[in-house]
Copies of this chain bind each other. A is one copy, B any other.
Amino acid sequence: MKWDTLDEEPCSLSRTVAVVGDRWTLLILRECFLRVRRFEAFQSSLQITRHLLSERLKKLVRFGILRRVPYSEAPKRYEYILTQKGLDLYPIIMAMVHWGDTHMGDERGRPLLHEHKNCGKLFDPVMVCSECGEPLHPKQVHVHVGPGRPKAIAAG
């Protein structure tokens, strides 16, 4: 497969995988949501090699997930801040955390608990239908070919 053009495939999942579908990117984004912003902080908390971190941050900036914002003029230093596009990845991260909590847990319990400030309670994320508000289950969803999919590959 040509990974360099995966973000142009007529499949929204492929396009998302082009951005977050590697070993490190999701872990870097987790740190972003935990308010980590600086190169050294990412590096020491993830134990990622400096080379790869540099590459991944560049890629995330290129895709518009992070902004590289100067926080010091001399010497020039930058920190990495989630854009709106990046903040919108939150449901993906939370869905993954929830699945890990549910299916990959051990006897010690959850590593992190999440409190919803609006209602003050510890919660789990639930995915619902935008139209009727009911929780979504795969067998209740029917997939239709949309306008963005070439006819030749209508299936699959």
A113 at the interface (CB under 8 A from B): yes
Residues from chain B with Cβ under 8 Å of A64 in the complex = 103
Q: Is the contact region of chain A dominated by helix, strand, or loop, or is it mixed? A: mixed
A91 to B125, CA, bound (A): 10
* A134–B133 CA distance with the chains assembled, in angstroms: 10
From B21, B110, B117, contact of A12 by CB (8 A): B110
Which chain B positions have C-beta within 8 A of A132? 116, 118-119, 121, 123
Contact of A21 with B14 at beta-carbon distance under 8 Å, contacts A115-B142, A116-B136, A119-B134 already known: no
Interface 1/0 per residue, A15-37 and B, CB below 8 Å: 11111111100110011011010
Contact of A147 among B27, B109, B127 (CB under 8 A): B109
A115 contacts which chain B residues (CB < 8 A)?
141-144
- Tier of interface size on chain A: 35 or more
Judge whether A74 is part of the interface by a CB distance below 8 angstroms.
no
Inter-chain contacts of A61 with B (CB < 8 A): none
Q: Complex formed: what's the CA distance from A14 to B126 in Å?
A: 20
Q: Does A104 contact B (CB under 8 A)?
A: yes
Q: Is the CB of A144 within 8 A of B99?
A: no
Cross-chain contact B99 with A11 (CB below 8 angstroms): no
